[in-house]
Amino acid sequence: MNSSTSMAAASTAGSHSRKGLGFMHYDDSDEENADYNQQQWQHNVEAFSLAGSVASKDSEVEIGFLRNTEKHIERKEKKGLISNDQEDEDYILAEARQPLWRKVPVPSSLINPYRIVIVMRLVVLAFFFRFRILNPVHDAFPLWLVSVICEIWLALSWLVDQLPKWFPITRETSLERLSLRFEQEGRQNKLAPVDVFVTTADPFKEPPIITANTVLSVLSVDYPVEKVNCYVSDDSASMLLYDTLYETSEFARIWIPFVNKYSIEPRAPEFYFSQKVDYLKDKVHPTFVRDRRAMKREYEEFKVRINVLISKAQKKPEEGWVMKDGTPWPGNNTEDHPGMIQVCLGSAGTLDMDGKQLPRLVYVSREKRPGYRHHEKAGAMNALVRVSAVLSNAPFVLNLDCDQYINNSKTIREAMCFLMDPQLGKRICFVQFPKRFDGIDNNDRYANRNTVFYDIVMKGLDGIQGPVYVGTGCVFNRQAIYGNKPPSDKKPKTSQSSCCCCCCSGDDSGSTFDLEEIDEGLEGFEEKEETSFISMKNFEKQYGMSPVLIASVLMEDGGLPKVTNTQLLIKEAIHVISCGYEEKTEWGKEIGWLYGSVTEDILTGFNMHCRGWKSVYCTPKRDAFKGSAPINLSDRLHQVLKWALGSTEIFFSGYCPLWYGYTGKLKLLQRLAYTNTIVYPFTSIPLLVYCTIPAVCLLTGKFIVPALTNVASIWLMALFTSMILTCVLELRWSGVNIQDWWRNEQFWVIGSVSSHLFAVFQGLLKVGGVHSNFTIRAKSTDNNSVSNQLYLFKWTTLMIPPTSLVILNMVGIVAGISDAINNGYNSWGPLFGKLFFSFWVIIHLYPFLKGLMGRQNRTPTIVVLWSILFALVFSMIWVRIDVFLPKKTGPVLVQCGLEC
C-alpha cells in the first residue's frame, strides 16, 4: 500500500506522561512543521455588534417593522431628504437588523381541533376503562385481567407520547439577512468558524468511497474556506482509509472549483452523477456540458484508484502494512497502536486548480491500548473534540456519520441563523436537522424514513425546549459540549469551577503558561483571590492535563490563544488523544459525549437540556443531509435493537429522566418526552401479550369483552372514532402522508415484539454484568446492491417472536372459523370480534411476512399466505364434520342387559 507522505506516531502504552509522545509529520520535513503558518490555525471570532435593537422573533412584529421602515423611507423620499442610493443603503441596514429566523406556529385551524380531539380521547378512555374494570368477564377472568392491564399500559404509553406534541412549530431562516449582517463587502467576514467531525470505524463495512463522498461534500460546502475544518476519525487505524483521504484531497482540488463555478447540488459526486435528471435541458451552456463530462471521467478514475486500494487491502502482508517511505504503518495492530494525526489538506501552499485556498482536512486515529475502555463512538467523538480544540477551536461543531453527506451546501449557513442570533444564539446547545435517506424502496416497507418521528415528534419537541439529539446531522455550540451552563440574563457566564485563563508562552522549549497574560476570564468572578495554581488544578480535574486544551476551553468565542506555539499544538494534539488521558477527568461523565449507553446521542442531549440549554429543529426546503438506511429486514431489526438497548441502559443508569436532573432547568413536557425515549422498549411486553390474547380467545372460545350494552357500545365506538380523528388531524398539520404513517404503525408493532423485547432482556443482563457487542451495519451506495439487499433473507433470533405470533393467530383463525361452522349460525356473531383482533395483529405484521418470503419475483406473498390459510381451514373443517367422529349429543345407545 502506498502513502502520500511519511509519518511517525508513538505514545507510551497506558502512560499519563507526555514524554515520548510523537506526532504525525504534516509535510516531508520537520522544518516545515516548525514554520507552519500560525494564522492557518487561528480562528478568533470577532464580537459582532448591531445598530439598534433586534426585532421580535414573531412574524407579526417582523412584518410590522418592515412596513414602518418602508413608510419612513417613502416619507423621506417624498420630501426629497434622501436619494435613491441612500434609500438602498437605509433599506439594507434595516433589513440587516431583522431577525435571522422566525417561528412559524401551526395554524390554529389545524392545531386546535387536534388538541380538542386529544382531550376528548382522554375523556373517552376514562369512561372506557370504567366500563372495562366494572364489568369483568367471570368465565375468562385471567384473560380479562391481563387484557385490562395491557390496555392501561398502552393507554399510558400513548399519553406520554402524545403530550409533548401539544405545541408543534416550524422555523424559517433568512440566509440573505445572514449575509447582510456578517458578510458585508469590503469588510472582514464575521461568520463563525466550524469544525466538522466525520466518524468511521470499519473501512470494509463502511466503504471508503462513501466516506470520501461525505468528506468531499464537507470540503465543498458553501461557506468561507478558511472557516471550515474537517476532522475524520478512523477508529480502525486503517491505512486504507488514510490513503483514501489522500486520494480524496487530490480529487478535491478539481472538484471544489467545479461545484463552486456551477453551484451544483448535491456536492457529493457519487450522488450528483447518479441523479436521473436531464442536465442538457433549458439551453445549458456548452461549457458546463464539457466540464461536467470531464469531471465525471475524473471521478470514475478516482473511483478506480479507490477500488485498487481496496483490493490491495483485502490481504494483509505478514509483516504488516508499510508506507511509501518504507516506514511500518503504526496502526497494523488495530487494538494496540499509538495516536495518529495527519493533515491532508490545509497546509501552506495547498491550493485548488484555480489557485484558491482549500478547507482543512485532518486524519485522526486515537490511541488504543489493551486494558483500556475506549467507549466506541462516544470516545471517538470526545477525542475529536479535544483535537479540534487544540488545532482550530471553532466555536461550533458539526458531527456527521461517514455515510451522512451534506445534501444542501448552505446547511451550515442555516444553522448559523440560529447559533449566531444575538438574542437566542448563546442559549442554543445544538441545531438538529432531520435525517433523510437514499436507496429506500418506494413503499418503505420497514419504515426507514421515520417520517412520523422527524416530521411530527421533533416538531412538537421544538415547541417545548427543543428536539432530541439523534447522533448525526447536528451543529453544536462547543461551550455546551464542555459541560457549561447557558448564559443567564441576571449573572455573567461562569465556568463550573473557579476560573482563570491560560495561554501558551512564547517559549518553544516547553508547555509553560503565563496565567497573568489574559485577564478577561477573571472579570465577574467571585473567586478572584484564588491562586493560579489552585485554579489550574481544578481545570485539570475536569478537562485533563493539557494547558493548551484548557486555554482553548476558556475562550468562549473560539479561536486559539494569540501566543500559542504552533509546534506545541501538534504535541498536545497527540497527547489529548492518548488512551489514558480521560482517566480521573469529567470526560464522558459531565463533559463531551457521555458514556454508559450505546445511544450516546440521547444521553448527551438530555444532559445539555438539564443544564438549561435549548435546542432548535431546522428543516430547510432542500434536505440538509442524506445517508444510507438498513435495507433488509434483519439489518433494520438490529438497528432498532441497538436504539432500544441504549434506552434501557439509560433507564437503569443514573441518568434516567425519572430521577435525574430535577435540580436543573428541564421543562416538564421535555422530561416527559425524554421519559418516553427510555421507557418505550418496556411497552413490548404488554404489546406481545395483547397480540397473543386474540389467538388464545379463538382457541379456547373465550373472550375478553363481556356482552356490550347500548351505552358500552357507544363508548367503544367513540374510542375508535377518536383514534381515527387523532390520526387524521395529526397528518393534516404535519403534512405526513397516510402511507408513511401506516408503515410506522406496522413497524412499531414489528419492532416492539422483536427488537424492543430483546433489548429489555439484554438491558437486564447488562445490569447483571453481561455485556452485548454490536456489529457495524454494512453500507452501500450501489443501487443494484440496494435492490438485492431488500429481498435478502438473513435469519436472526429477533424473528422468532413475530413469526410465532403470526403462526399462532393464523391457527387461532382457522380454529375459530372451524368451530363456528361446526356449531351453527349463532356462533358467528361472537366470532367476529375475535377475528377482528387477530386480523389486526396479522395486518400489522404483514411487512414482516413479506421480509420472510424473500424476492417478489417468486410466488407472490399474498398467494402463499392465503393458500396456507385455506388449506388449514379446509383440513380443520374436514376433521370437525367427519361423519365417523363420535357424537357428543343425542341418545346414548347401550345394552340394557335384558332379553327383549
CB 447 within 8 A of CB 391: no
pLDDT in tens, 190-212: 999 999 999 998 888 889 999 99
Q: Say how many Å lie between the first and final Cα of the chain, rounded.
A: 107
Phi, psi of 400 (to 5 degrees): -135, 145
The angle subtended at Cα 615 by Cα 612 and Cα 621, nearest 5°, is 170
Range with lowest mean pLDDT among 8-12, 176-180, 263-267, 787-791: 8-12
Q: Which residue did the predictor score with more confidence, 881 or 94?
A: 94
Radius of gyration of the chain (CA): 32
CB 544 within 8 A of CB 581: yes
Q: How far apart are CA 651 and CA 647, in angstroms?
A: 6
The mean of the pLDDT values for the chain is 79
Phi, psi of 851 (to 5 degrees): -65, -35
pLDDT bin (cut points 50, 70, 90) of residue 67 is very low
pLDDT reading at 528 higher than 70: no
- Is the domain covering 178-486+570-627 a CATH 3.90.550.10 domain? yes
pLDDT reading at 425 higher than 50: yes
Can you read off the three cell numbers belonging to residue 472?
448525526
pLDDT bin (cut points 50, 70, 90) of residue 54 is very low
Quick one: DSSP state of residue 591? B
| Packing angle of the helix pair 668-679, 141-162 (nearest 10 deg) | 130
3-class DSSP state for residue 785?
Answer: helix
Q: How far apart are CA 107 and CA 109, in angstroms?
A: 5
pLDDT bin (cut points 50, 70, 90) of residue 765 is confident
What are the residue ranges spanned by the domains of the chain? 116-166+675-777+795-881, 178-486+570-627
Q: How far apart are CA 208 and CA 476, in angstroms?
A: 26
pLDDT reading at 93 higher than 70: no
pLDDT bin (cut points 50, 70, 90) of residue 882 is very low
H-state helical runs in 392-419:
411-419
CB 612 within 8 A of CB 642: no
CA atoms within 13 A on the CB side of 480: 28
Distances from the Cα of 580 to the Cαs of 341, 459, 512, 575, in angstroms? 17, 41, 22, 9
Q: What is the dihedral of CA 577, 581, 585, 588, to 10 degrees?
A: 40
Range with lowest mean pLDDT among 16-25, 222-231, 582-591: 16-25
Kindly provide the b/e burial profile for residues 354-385, where b requires at least 16 CB atoms within 10 angstroms of the residue's own CB: eeeebbbbbbbbbbbbeebebbbbbbbbbbbb
Single-letter amino acid, residue 600: E
3-class DSSP state for residue 493?
Answer: coil
pLDDT in tens, 225-270: 999 999 999 999 999 999 999 999 999 999 999 999 999 999 999 9
Q: How far apart are CA 535 and CA 422, in angstroms?
A: 31
Q: How far apart are CA 132 and CA 705, in angstroms?
A: 8
What pLDDT does 527 receive? 45
What pLDDT does 813 receive? 87
Q: Which residue did the predictor score with more confidence, 859 or 145?
A: 145
Q: Which residue did the predictor score with more confidence, 138 or 878?
A: 138
Strands (E), 320-463: 340-345, 360-365, 396-401, 405-406, 428-432, 437-438
pLDDT reading at 445 higher than 60: yes
Q: Which residue did the predictor score with more confidence, 185 or 622?
A: 622
Range with lowest mean pLDDT among 539-553, 649-663, 806-820: 806-820
Distance of CA 777 to the CA centre of its chain: 15
What pLDDT does 730 receive? 93
Q: How far apart are CA 162 and CA 102, in angstroms?
A: 25
Q: CB within 8 A of 367, min separation 6: which ones?
A: 11, 337, 338, 339, 577, 578, 579
Element (H, E) at 250: helix 239-262
Q: Which residue did the predictor score with more confidence, 481 or 782?
A: 481
CB 149 within 8 A of CB 598: no
Q: Which of 234, 235, 243, 352 is catalytic?
A: 235
Instruction: Write out the DSSP string of 713-766.
Output: HHHHHHHHHHHHHHHHHHHHHH---HHHHHHHHHHHHHHIIIIIHHHHHHHHHH
Exposed, middle or buried: residue 168 (CB in 10 Å: 0-12, 13-18, 19+)?
Answer: buried
What pLDDT does 619 receive? 94
What pLDDT does 6 receive? 37
pLDDT above 70 coverage of the chain, percent: 74
pLDDT reading at 502 higher than 60: no
Mean pLDDT of 637-642: 91
Q: Is 58 a catalytic residue?
A: no
Q: Which residues pair with 169 in a beta bridge?
A: 105
Q: How far apart are CA 630 and CA 437, in angstroms?
A: 10
What pLDDT does 474 receive? 96
What pLDDT does 825 receive? 66
Q: How far apart are CA 341 and CA 361, in angstroms?
A: 11
What pLDDT does 618 receive? 95
- Tracing cell 461550533 back to the chain, one arrives at 396
Mean pLDDT of 61-76: 46
Q: CB within 8 A of 431, min separation 6: which ones?
A: 414, 415, 418, 419, 474, 475, 615, 616, 617, 618
Mean pLDDT of 416-424: 91
Instruction: Write out the DSSP string of 792-834.
Output: -----GGGHHHHHHHHHHHHHHHHHHHHHHHH-GGGHHHHHHH
Mean pLDDT of 697-712: 84
pLDDT in tens, 273-294: 988 877 667 667 788 889 999 9
H-state helical runs in 135-200:
141-162, 175-182
pLDDT reading at 636 higher than 60: yes
Single-letter amino acid, residue 520: E
What pLDDT does 444 receive? 85
Is the bond leading into 266 cis (omega within 30 degrees of zero)? yes
Q: Is 421 a catalytic residue?
A: no
pLDDT reading at 495 higher than 60: no
pTM (two decimals): 0.81
CB 746 within 8 A of CB 846: yes
pLDDT reading at 37 higher than 80: no
Q: Which residues pair with 615 in a beta bridge?
A: 430
Q: How far apart are CA 178 and CA 63, in angstroms?
A: 18
Distances from the Cα of 117 to the Cαs of 157, 291, 469, in angstroms? 17, 57, 30
What residue numbers does the annotated binding site for UDP-alpha-D-glucose cover? Answer: 205-206, 235
What residue numbers does the annotated binding site cover? Answer: 205-206, 235, 377, 401
pLDDT bin (cut points 50, 70, 90) of residue 815 is confident
What pLDDT does 628 receive? 87
Mean pLDDT of 414-437: 93
Q: Which residues pair with 146 in a beta bridge?
A: none
Which has the closest alpha carbon to 103: 173, 180, 166? 173
pLDDT reading at 822 higher than 80: no
pLDDT above 90 coverage of the chain, percent: 46
pLDDT reading at 844 higher than 80: yes
Q: CB within 8 A of 383, min separation 6: which ones?
A: 233, 364, 366, 576, 577
pLDDT in tens, 284-321: 778 888 999 999 999 999 999 999 999 998 888 888 88
pLDDT reading at 769 higher than 90: no
Q: Which residues pair with 195 in a beta bridge?
A: 229, 397
Instruction: Write out the DSSP string of 202-246.
Output: -TTTS-HHHHHHHHHHHHTSSS-GGGEEEEEEETT--HHHHHHHH
Quick one: DSSP state of residue 469? P
Which has the closest alpha carbon to 517: 484, 493, 551, 482? 551
| Packing angle of the helix pair 828-844, 738-751 (nearest 10 deg) | 90
pLDDT bin (cut points 50, 70, 90) of residue 32 is very low
pLDDT reading at 500 higher than 50: no
Q: Which of 601, 623, 635, 740 is catalytic?
A: 601
What residue numbers does the annotated binding site for Mn(2+) cover? Answer: 377, 401
pLDDT reading at 505 higher than 50: no
The angle subtended at Cα 55 by Cα 53 and Cα 60, nearest 5°, is 160
pLDDT reading at 21 higher than 60: no
Q: Which residue did the predictor score with more confidence, 844 or 423?
A: 844
Mean pLDDT of 598-613: 92
What pLDDT does 854 receive? 62
Which has the closest alpha carbon to 112: 732, 652, 852, 607? 732
The angle subtended at Cα 129 by Cα 123 and Cα 133, nearest 5°, is 150
Which has the closest alpha carbon to 639: 400, 803, 456, 470? 470
